């Protein structure tokens, strides 16, 4: 079975500090992994994805994520947080083989404090 866990409902960080939003996954075979961001009353926007190759993936707005196969994790990071980064972040996974459905985590609300 495929699943995604985002263990933190809420993450608070001071502006200018580094941020991390955690994600672990379970999937049959190798995964495709994604991060999306949602601003209030809006749809989700794609940030970045991991397919294969380099474990460090760089995406939009200065975000990056590190794929760790042994820990089945795909944590989202940014070196210096902005107030405008405050939003709801979703991790998602799809198996590279088997079921084609994309499974989303429950989301982590990031608040960047000025």
Partner 1 sequence: DGGITQSPKYLFRKEGQNVTLSCEQNLNHDAMYWYRQDPGQGLRLIYYSQIVNDFQKGDIAEGYSVSREKKESFPLTVTSAQKNPTAFYLCASSGQTSGANVLTFGAGSRLTVL
Smallest distance, partner 1 to C-beta of residue 94, A: 7
Smallest distance, partner 1 to C-beta of residue 92, A: 8
Smallest distance, partner 1 to C-beta of residue 13, A: 21
Beta bridge partners of 4: 25
For 11, the token pair is 């993450």
Torsion angle of the four alpha carbons 95, 97, 102, 103, in this order, in degrees rounded to the nearest 10: -40
3-state secondary structure of 61: helix
Please report, as ranges, the residues that interact with partner 1 according to CB under 8 A: 4, 9, 32, 34, 36, 41-46, 49, 51, 90, 94, 96, 100-102, 104-107
Q: Toward partner 1, which CB reaches closer, 82 or 102? A: 102
CA distance 81 to 113: 9
């Amino acid at each position: 079975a495929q699943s995604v866990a985002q263990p933190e409902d809420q993450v608070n960080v001071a502006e200018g500090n580094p941020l991390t939003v955690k994600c672990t996954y379970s999937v049959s075979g190798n995964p495709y992994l994604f991060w999306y961001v949602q601003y209030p009353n809006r749809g989700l926007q794609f940030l970045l994805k991991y397919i294969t190759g380099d474990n460090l993936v760089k995406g939009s707005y200065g975000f990056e994520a590190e794929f760790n196969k042994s820990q089945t994790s795909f944590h989202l990071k940014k070196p210096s947080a902005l107030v405008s980064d405050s939003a709801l972040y979703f991790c998602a996974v799809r198996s590279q083989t088997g079921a084609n459905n994309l499974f989303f985590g429950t989301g982590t609300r990031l608040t960047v404090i000025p």
